[in-house]
Structure 1
Amino acid sequence: MLWNSNAKFQESYYKTLIAAYRTHLVQGSTDLGRITLELDKVYILPHLVVKNPTEVSSALIQQQDTISSLSIWDFLAKIETEPTYRRILLLSAPGTGKTILLEYLTLTYAQGNQREEYEKAPKLIPVLLSLRQIRKLIINNLDITIAQIITTVIKRESSLKLDPSVEWFEQKLSSGKCLIMLDGLDEIVNASERRSVGKWLDEQMGLYPETCYIITSRPYSYLNYPLKTTTICLEIQPYKSQDIKQFLEQFYLEKELFKQAHLEGNLIKQQALKKAILVHKVITTYPPFALMASNPLLLTFMAFFAENPSLILKKRVELYKEICRLLLINRPKAKGIPSLYNLESKQIQLILQKLALELMCQHKVQFTLEEGATIISESFLAIVEAKEAPIQFLQYLENVTGLIQKVSAKLYQFIHLSFQEYLTVAEIKLTNQEQILINNIDQPWWSEAIRLYAGSKDTSKIILAAWNKRNFVTLNLAYDCWEEGEQYNVELKKRIENWLDAALESNDPDIARLAAKVYLSRRLKYVVAFD
């Protein structure tokens, strides 16, 4: 009877897990809507590399490691013969997919599909716990065991009103039959609480040495209070080109199946594949997008945003705006991480705009904390009266939001120049400093910022400045402003086009050569964009 009762519990427990983790809600999602993924239809298993915790990057966008990578199954398959693999620390940057990897493992084991995913995968009972959500249970009773925590959480959260036995879980833990996944050590904001929870984790891993544990964290908070009993550290690698392509195909197939269930299956597949190919081409041919797409969170966001693939580039200002809101506000809020000094989203962005504009004016990408703090100090100290506040703010942006990243021992930068340019344009619009762009009309350093500005402003003055300079850079930029923007002087456009037509036949070889270069440049750009 006891065996029958336990078997029924396990069956019911797996049903609750399947219901809970069949779909994944992207934390923070977007003001444009909720982003949900069908895990067993869309998820791309990440590549992992073994790293020393001190060498793990905290950068949202990073380069692929040259060392060989493995999947999580390669490590789980060896837990019986390699005790080292029973204490896995999954340390990785924001948005790389730590949580969704644990959800995928939970769903796969609950469905009994682990051997379909990996032939030598061990049979384990999955348990996924959010450390942020269970921290109070631990802090209030440091003698509580992981078995007691598990049963308390299941009783509290199960829709089927399950009543698991502590003794049953203790027996499974002692015999190494469970996979315990503890997510988000970094999400315990209070340092004292994080230290206490870390000590408790070390004790539990010592109490049940046969059990396999996976603990996730971002690098910054973990290194302050590292665990003593984890024996291997894994870092999630950026998506490769093939991963991006496969994700887009699966993402749009599921999206089209949901939207157009009334259509015939093959037609839906054709439509989804066509959309995936178009989005993939835009992403791979526009360097900033190609880099961003290597991060699973940003790729998911871009795929969701690209309702009309042909307009992704033209609407990239809106895309950058939504990504900033996601990283600065929505995701920290969803994870229960309070804003530094209780700053509002508008205040945070206004401070970053000052930093971005000054860096652009200095023709700089990288800065030290001290340099960054000096740039933002006036606007920041008007809000928060604390001398150390500007530096703490920049560190918060690196460690919590990922919008700023450390590139060396002392140097920092925005995750990509595109975000520096977007924030610069936002500041120029807000403070009516269009003259900065006009003064730099022939400087390639400012070209992309000018294009971004053209997307939502009347650029007649900028195009006139480009016409007055009349060189290859400025004339190309004038065309870009026409294509990017919706407001410009039509008569000036005709005047420039007529001049270029006539210049092709000019007796002055320099003028004819200039006109030919501009025409060829526009033709090549058209071919790349639409071929």
Structure 2
Amino acid sequence: MNVQELHQHAPASPEITPAEAQAAVEAYAGRVRVSYGRLDLEVLTPLSEQNEHPVVELREVFVTPWVRADPPQVELPRELMKRLVDQGELLGSGDLPPGTDPTRLHQIREAYRQRPPADVLEVVADPQVKRVVLLGDPGAGKSTLARYLALALTGPGPLGPLAALKGWLPLVVELRLYADERWRERTFEDFLEHLHITEGMSVPTAVLQDRLYSGKALVVFDGLDELFDPRVRAETARRIAAFAARYPETRVVVTSRVIGYQRATLDGADFKHHMLQDLTERQIAEFARRWYANACLNDSAQAAQLVRRVTDAVSHSRPVRELAGNPLLLTILAIIGRRQTLPRDRHGVYRHAVTVLVAHLDQDVKHLKGQPGSEAWEDLDPDELHDLLRLLARSMQNGSSGIAGNHIHVRELETVLFGYLRDYELPPMKAKAAARAMVDRLRTRNFILSRYGGEVYGFVHRAFLEYLAAADIAHRYKEDREWSPDELIEQVFKAHAGDPSWHEVLLLVIGQLSERDAGPAIDCLLQLHRQSPAEDNSMLILAVRALAEVRKIGPLAGQSHAVVDALIQAVGGISFLHAGGELSAALPALTSFSEYWSGRHRYLSWFLVSGQFKANLDWPTRVAGALCRTPVIPAALAMYAPEPVVRGQALSTLTERWWEDPEVRGLVLDRATSDPDDVPRYIALAALAQLRSENPEVRDLIFDRAISEPDNVPRYIAMGLLARHWSEDPAVYTLILDRATGAPEEYSRSRALELLARHWSEDPVTRALILDRATSDPDGTPRSTALRVLAERWSEDPVTRALILDRATSDPDGTPRSTALRVLAERWSEDPVTRALILDRATSDPDGTPRSAALRVLAERWSEDPVTRALILDRATSEPDRYWRSRALELSAEYWSDDPEVGALIRDSVTSEASALSRSAALRVLAKCWPEDPEVHALVRDRASCDPHDSSRSTALELLARHWPEDPDTPALIRDRASCDPHGSSRSTALELLALHWPEDPETRALIHDRAANDHDVEIRLDALRLWAAEATDEVRSALHERARCDGNEAVRRGAVWMLAWGWPADPLTLPALQEMAVTDSSEDVRSATAQAVQAVEAILAGGEFF
């Protein structure tokens, strides 16, 4: 402790000598360390762990929060507030609770935008701000901050912003103690003298007076909200103002909750107001690192694992992330996360958090006496309070807006509470008064409810509503026997699975069910997935997440295999492009499965011998990466996988999950520059920037690649990453400004213009440059981008509209003309000139791209106009370009599928259209819009064998498998085409469909074996061999050895080599066979690939993870 510096301002007073003052300050500092040094975790720690959690020092785990100046007061659910503030998203009326003023929200959004967050320690130490009020929610860390300030300023040399206050005397006045009646007529100075005498938590009066008058003191009045009587609270605020006036040089900080705070008194005393903000994900991660480093002092590996458990849960679970922004709830999360798996065990976190807030926060944490009128509340134990909140959640989910709405009128709220109290035989008048008091308490003290306006309330944290609604359903099923098992499936899971706002509730319900009940629920979700359109994987994702909620997953082996088979079908299907990024929501659940989960082996076996060879699809690798438990397989894939996309995605997985491993870090940084293909290089760069942007080494690497990378795409991507993550760096701005005109390739120039508009739109140089490039760039892509960003950023400028109107007809390239037409429709659709121009360009533009763009915006903006419909139907047959003709056909079905003329046109196009592309488009439209029509089914079946072009036959086969898989004739027809279709692409499509949809069918397996040996098309033979290899039998292993040595085609030999390497690395025959072939094969390409496969096997064997 730097007592000498702390004491140097002590008075030369006749009442106390300098030595005595120094001793007094030193004694006070010691008492501060004893009183505030350790966190009191008893109330926050579940009873089952009371004796297990180590001591945690406040200074070791404190993470500095941010504040915003003079915040507007608003009560909104946390999820909506986050969207409003973090994303700048003004909510639609459908998102807002009744009584919420959209105009007020707009003002709030602007206020937050104009007042960026600041470090709270910088605010406290700011020499220009002597008086500060820090507002915050319950659990936001107000009292913790007060204690930290006392510890830091009485400890050895405060660092960072607090260094400016070195030697100052910190004093904390806990207003809940000062509120005692014996201090009603006494001053704060008297109270501090009392603390000095009785507890040693102040200094003698002579020292105190000297510090206060000299301005070398920081006084924190903590907990103004903890004075329940409004009159006492107002009087105390006046006393604080008077105290600040008596000591104008002393720094004064006041903390209070937001709700109930009246700012007029302290505003008038020149106090500046700031609001503590929720912790960011980076602050949460820093807290987790500090917490577990302290809690696991002798086990850094366990600490790292626990940190990853918390940070992964925060990153991937919206409800957990919502709670973790609050320091109190984050602390509970960290305590429980030491023994439980997150987010799977979040149910226990929620229950304990709710219990702390409603039953312990005021009484046991703050040691506050009950509020007036709270007797009924005090009489309820934690379980009874939990039951009451369950009923409240039930009432809300049964309301007009359901679980999505998160709001309830005060009358209905009081009715629920009144009914519960009446069950305890409380007299009606008392029950009514108690219900009103409970509503106020849940809002003002317990941080459970918010009031939105117009007497409408909702849960502050949606996570608590979802948890309580799930707890209510589980209670009604298990305790009240309200539903039979079949009724639970029908009335809860099947009835609500289609509503995304119910998904978290259903997952929490499954986590509370037995395996016997959870299995049918997952079966139900899989059945709903099979009934969904091919492009919709939401039910599959929900099934994966539901399976991850089950604790004892062994009895659900059937569901595990069914989920994995559906996942393989989704990521490996011919039409996987429809699956999109939505499957990312399933990755955290897949990561949570243990290494012994049977589905893990099933998927990885398929991926290693078959799935990784799907052409340019990254999702099979992403799913595999989620299922790996060590970096061994991803590292081997990153180095040796023959497909570039697989190597790239493996690098991304390594960056996300094992960055702390020095070998992994070295591998990723090396391959980001040295991989022979550009795809892994740019995927690695993107992963590094997204996941490790705080690392200076990463920034330097990406800056270097934006300049020196030899290939266009990695340079283009590196430039975007620099702007996204380091836009404050002047060197980044200079580089991108240069690239906007100086990059040799058009896509880099285009990207630079887009980045300038997104990150530096306030700079007048940006607008001038973009205006110039809209006409002067020699290539169409940058000109097109310039037009688009001008419309996005400067649409109010008449020059912008005039320029875009001109370029819609005068630009020499079709792409800028298309862009001009689109932005005219988006920004100026009300102008008659816009519609007339677009109608004209739909037929008169000499290029098909603008003509199609014109048709699209006509349908989007003016689909009700008969002229639009007539024009698009005409272009579906008369458009000279076959590709754009097919797009017009799809548009007609998208907007007018109920029109008999449209249906007839599309049916006719299936057979009469000369272009195979248009016939395929017509088939897809028919199957999508009229799958229940027997004539459509018959027509698709006919085209699967009779269409003259292989692409249309393949489309028909795919549609049969997707829309009519239950028809027994479907697999029979597809089997026929797999062997009899004259074109290889159609046979390949049929074979793939059989393996995806009917993998267990003996006829499918027999056909795959036959094609692997007998098809005259090399690619089909190789594809069939990969499908067969996924069975992982001794028979196929022997066949692969035979093909690797003896097949007459080098592509098949090379493919067999890789399948042996990835699928059977631990087999004693594999490595010797590959080593021999690396020397003896007649093809140099095969020898080279085999030598690489040998390295992959050796790496896997060294790591000890294989399947």
Measured against the shorter chain, the TM-score band is 0.7 to 0.9
* Aligned with residue 361 of structure 1, among 369, 374, 398: 398
What is the CA–CA distance in structure 2 between the aligned matches of 1:133 and 1:399, rounded to whole Å? 20
* Aligned with residue 464 of structure 2, among 408, 419, 442: 419
- 1:221 aligns to what? 260
- One-letter code aligned to 2:370: P
- 1:508 aligns to what? none
Show CA shifts across 1:367-390 (max 9, x none): 232332234432234444343433
Show CA shifts across 1:461-491 (max 9, x none): 564366468211667655554442357995x
Matched, 1:124 2:163: no
What is the CA–CA distance in structure 1 between the aligned matches of 2:398 and 2:143, rounded to whole Å? 39
- One-letter code aligned to 1:44: V
- 2:389 aligns to what? 352
- 2:412 aligns to what? 371
- 2:491 aligns to what? 439
Matched, 1:48 2:67: yes
User: Cα–Cα, structure 1 residues 193 and 436, in superposed 2: closer, same or farther, change >3 Å?
Assistant: farther
- One-letter code aligned to 1:45: T
Question: Post-superposition shift, 1:151?
Answer: 1.6
User: Cα–Cα, structure 1 residues 529 and 323, in superposed 2: closer, same or farther, change >3 Å?
Assistant: farther
Equivalent position SS for 2:432: coil
What is the CA–CA distance in structure 1 between the aligned matches of 2:118 and 2:398, rounded to whole Å? 44
What is the CA–CA distance in structure 1 between the aligned matches of 2:563 and 2:62, rounded to whole Å? 53
* Aligned with residue 428 of structure 1, among 473, 476, 481: 473
Matched, 1:331 2:361: yes
User: Cα–Cα, structure 1 residues 7 and 399, in superposed 2: closer, same or farther, change >3 Å?
Assistant: same
Question: Post-superposition shift, 1:323?
Answer: 0.8
Are the equivalent residues in 1 in contact too, given 2:75–2:452 (CA < 8 A)? no
- One-letter code aligned to 1:420: L
Question: Post-superposition shift, 1:119?
Answer: 4.5
- One-letter code aligned to 2:195: V
What is the CA–CA distance in structure 2 between the aligned matches of 1:498 and 1:241, rounded to whole Å? 35
* Aligned with residue 35 of structure 2, among 12, 20, 24: 20
Q: Greater strand share, 1 or 2?
A: 1
Question: Post-superposition shift, 1:112?
Answer: 4.2
Are the equivalent residues in 1 in contact too, given 2:67–2:117 (CA < 8 A)? yes
Equivalent position SS for 1:120: helix
- 2:157 aligns to what? 113
User: Cα–Cα, structure 1 residues 466 and 69, in superposed 2: closer, same or farther, change >3 Å?
Assistant: closer
User: Greater CA radius of gyration, 1 or 2?
Assistant: 2
- 1:263 aligns to what? none
- One-letter code aligned to 2:179: R
What is the CA–CA distance in structure 2 between the aligned matches of 1:213 and 1:281, rounded to whole Å? 39
- 2:140 aligns to what? 96
Show CA shifts across 1:167-202 (max 9, x none): 332232122221111111111233343333333323
Question: Post-superposition shift, 1:27?
Answer: 7.8
What is the CA–CA distance in structure 1 between the aligned matches of 2:74 and 2:175, rounded to whole Å? 21
Question: Post-superposition shift, 1:304?
Answer: 1.4
Are the equivalent residues in 2 in contact too, given 1:48–1:70 (CA < 8 A)? yes
* Aligned with residue 7 of structure 1, among 22, 32, 50: 22
Range moving further from structure 2, 351-360 or 92-101: 351-360
Are the equivalent residues in 2 in contact too, given 1:58–1:94 (CA < 8 A)? no
* Aligned with residue 380 of structure 1, among 414, 421, 424: 421
User: Cα–Cα, structure 1 residues 112 and 374, in superposed 2: closer, same or farther, change >3 Å?
Assistant: same
Are the equivalent residues in 1 in contact too, given 2:122–2:161 (CA < 8 A)? no
- 2:1061 aligns to what? none
- One-letter code aligned to 2:395: E
Root mean square deviation, CA, Å:
3.6
What is the CA–CA distance in structure 1 between the aligned matches of 2:124 and 2:68, rounded to whole Å? 14
Equivalent position SS for 1:144: coil
What is the CA–CA distance in structure 2 between the aligned matches of 1:95 and 1:371, rounded to whole Å? 28
- 1:144 aligns to what? 186
Matched, 1:157 2:205: no
Q: Which has the higher contact order (CA 8 A, sep 6+)?
A: 1
What is the CA–CA distance in structure 1 between the aligned matches of 2:27 and 2:567, rounded to whole Å? 78
Matched, 1:403 2:455: no
What is the CA–CA distance in structure 1 between the aligned matches of 2:506 and 2:257, rounded to whole Å? 36
User: Cα–Cα, structure 1 residues 377 and 2, in superposed 2: closer, same or farther, change >3 Å?
Assistant: same
Show CA shifts across 1:424-465 (max 9, x none): 232233333344664132323433323222223236456436
User: Cα–Cα, structure 1 residues 153 and 230, in superposed 2: closer, same or farther, change >3 Å?
Assistant: farther
- One-letter code aligned to 2:549: E
What is the CA–CA distance in structure 2 between the aligned matches of 1:241 and 1:504, rounded to whole Å? 32
- 1:74 aligns to what? 122
TM-score normalised by structure 2 residue count: 0.42
Equivalent position SS for 1:471: helix
User: How many aligned positions are there?
Assistant: 502
Show CA shifts across 1:94-113 (max 9, x none): 11110111111101110142
- One-letter code aligned to 2:347: V
Question: Post-superposition shift, 1:26?
Answer: 4.7
Matched, 1:287 2:318: yes
User: Cα–Cα, structure 1 residues 316 and 76, in superposed 2: closer, same or farther, change >3 Å?
Assistant: closer
Show CA shifts across 1:337-379 (max 9, x none): 4273323322322221111112223323222323322344322
Are the equivalent residues in 1 in contact too, given 2:67–2:118 (CA < 8 A)? yes
What is the CA–CA distance in structure 2 between the aligned matches of 1:127 and 1:158, rounded to whole Å? 12
User: Cα–Cα, structure 1 residues 233 and 57, in superposed 2: closer, same or farther, change >3 Å?
Assistant: farther
Question: Post-superposition shift, 1:220?
Answer: 1.9
User: Cα–Cα, structure 1 residues 225 and 426, in superposed 2: closer, same or farther, change >3 Å?
Assistant: farther
User: Cα–Cα, structure 1 residues 501 and 279, in superposed 2: closer, same or farther, change >3 Å?
Assistant: closer
What is the CA–CA distance in structure 2 between the aligned matches of 1:232 and 1:17, rounded to whole Å? 27
Matched, 1:243 2:283: yes
What is the CA–CA distance in structure 2 between the aligned matches of 1:463 and 1:212, rounded to whole Å? 62
Question: Post-superposition shift, 1:45?
Answer: 1.0
Show CA shifts across 1:76-125 (max 9, x none): 4444xx3xx22211111111110111111101110142355544335421
User: Cα–Cα, structure 1 residues 101 and 175, in superposed 2: closer, same or farther, change >3 Å?
Assistant: same
Range moving further from structure 2, 397-406 or 19-28: 19-28
Question: Post-superposition shift, 1:231?
Answer: 1.6
User: Cα–Cα, structure 1 residues 128 and 59, in superposed 2: closer, same or farther, change >3 Å?
Assistant: farther
Equivalent position SS for 1:220: coil
- One-letter code aligned to 2:528: N
User: Cα–Cα, structure 1 residues 196 and 452, in superposed 2: closer, same or farther, change >3 Å?
Assistant: same
Structure 2, unmatched stretches of 5+, are 1-15, 87-111, 530-537, 591-622, 628-652, 654-1107
Equivalent position SS for 2:421: helix
What is the CA–CA distance in structure 2 between the aligned matches of 1:29 and 1:410, rounded to whole Å? 32
Are the equivalent residues in 1 in contact too, given 2:221–2:253 (CA < 8 A)? yes
- 1:181 aligns to what? 220
What is the CA–CA distance in structure 2 between the aligned matches of 1:42 and 1:358, rounded to whole Å? 40
Range moving further from structure 2, 357-366 or 42-51: 357-366
Range moving further from structure 2, 123-132 or 65-74: 65-74
Question: Percentage identity across aligned positions?
Answer: 20
Question: Post-superposition shift, 1:411?
Answer: 3.5
What is the CA–CA distance in structure 1 between the aligned matches of 2:385 and 2:227, rounded to whole Å? 22
- One-letter code aligned to 2:133: L
What is the CA–CA distance in structure 2 between the aligned matches of 1:414 and 1:68, rounded to whole Å? 27
Are the equivalent residues in 1 in contact too, given 2:474–2:512 (CA < 8 A)? no
- 1:277 aligns to what? 308
What is the CA–CA distance in structure 2 between the aligned matches of 1:141 and 1:489, rounded to whole Å? 64
